[in-house]
Structure 1
Amino acid sequence: MAQRTLRDFLKLLEQRGQLRRISAPVNPDLEVAAIADRVLAAGGPALLFENVIGSPMPLVLNLLGTVERVVWSMGLERVEELEELGSRLALLQQPRPPKGLQETAAFGRVLWDLVKARPDLDLFPPCQQIIQKGDQINLDQLPLIRPWPGDAGRVITLGLVITRDPETRVPNVGVYRLQQQDAHSMTVHWLSVR
């Protein structure tokens, strides 16, 4: 079953022994990343830091640190199911007329899945119950980390960024490294090859 919220996913990971809670105070400047790197390198669990120095919020890392956890995050149980999903999504990325009955049936199954897929109609999901705008925004409250000694500041290592092409108006969603500049702004790290 798909995990609808981060809370649901954390609960699932905890039930399956794939989440460790760390209640001791930890420093987001180098210490959190060092701990997370060691645990990830050993194939260890996701980590929930409950007491991040300087932040009123907890911090979770390595949620998707193993293929198994990626599979679970998508509501699947086996890696093979993830591979099947990838194949089905590839049909949508570059659709072409099916050749033969088998391809027609496969495309039909993907279309049926699209028909069944509906957005959640929850008008007040937990992630939108606290909304901050303008001067209310204070990035200093977030438990952002500085993972490496040479980093210029605190970062979100895999931030979801939504942009829109200024000419075509086509939206794009990508995952990028975001670095905090001040209490109200961050910069996006785009590679020049992109």
Structure 2
Amino acid sequence: MTHWEDELAELAHRRGRALVGYAYVLCGEQRQAEDLVQDALVKVFSRLRRHRGPAAPAPGLHPLDGERSGTSEAYVRRAILTLYLDEYRRRRRWRGVRHLVASEDRARGPASGATARADVAAALARLTPRERACVVLRYFEDLTVPRIAEELGLAQGTVKRYLSDATAALRNLLQVPLDQPAGPTPTDRRAGR
């Protein structure tokens, strides 16, 4: 084993609990504290590992500071603090922008994927045939508007109108449970329903 491996093993064995305790005081959670210690050890000792070879410092000297070995615990403690503060800042920044990201109000269950597919299929069935064809070609076949117009023999503006009307209808249909009547869609209003 190289010197840094011996130092890592000794530090983890002799001071591991103290390092986890230090991290626990910072974060207040056992698992997060253990993760912080592990990440800090990797961060500090991965630097030591890169220093092996002909350019390595003399035995007993620490490549990070040129001091006698045994100062690794200070480096690890500093790395724990830095990692904790980085995570804290990330969480605080996330809280400031979290509201900009769409999220569901309730947790999805294991059957939610199948239920969502069934809901989409039922909502598609309630569209007119041309709207349904435009939606399927655009969002399931990933065709462009000009390509859809070519496939269906329609003008591009007509395809855009069908897509817009169908999107509004699907939005209304999928936000309201399908057993309840949805509000009138743009297609329903045009048709006088």
| TM-score interval for Structure 1 and Structure 2 normalised by the shorter chain | under 0.3
In the superposition, the TM-score normalised over structure 1's length comes to 0.19
Q: Which has the higher helix share?
A: 2
